Amino acid sequence: MRNFAALSVVIAGSVLLAATAVGADGFASSKPRFVFKDAQGKMQSAEIVTKYQSKKIVYPLAKVDPKVDSKLRRAATIAEERSHAHSRSQCWHYVKEALVAAGVVNSRPKSELAKEAGQELVTSYGFKKLAVRDPFAAPVGAVLVYGAKRAAGHVEIRTKDGFVSDFRSKRPSRRPLLGVYAKS
Percent of the chain with pLDDT over 90: 59
Euclidean distance between CA atoms 141 and 182, whole angstroms: 7
Q: Say if pTM beats, i.e. exceeds, 0.85.
A: no
Mean pLDDT across the chain: 85
Euclidean distance between CA atoms 164 and 154, whole angstroms: 11
* Residue 122 is assigned to a structural domain of this protein: yes
* Residue 162 is assigned to a structural domain of this protein: yes
Euclidean distance between CA atoms 138 and 132, whole angstroms: 6
Range of the domain at 155: 70-182
* Residue 143 is assigned to a structural domain of this protein: yes
* Residue 135 is assigned to a structural domain of this protein: yes
The pLDDT tens digits of the residues spanning 94-146 come to 999 999 999 999 999 999 999 999 999 999 999 999 999 999 999 999 999 99
* Residue 15 is assigned to a structural domain of this protein: no
* Residue 61 is assigned to a structural domain of this protein: no
Which phi and psi (to 5°) does residue 157 adopt?
-110, 140
Strand partners, 37: 43
Q: What is the CATH number of the domain that holds 132?
A: 3.90.1720.10
* Residue 29 is assigned to a structural domain of this protein: no
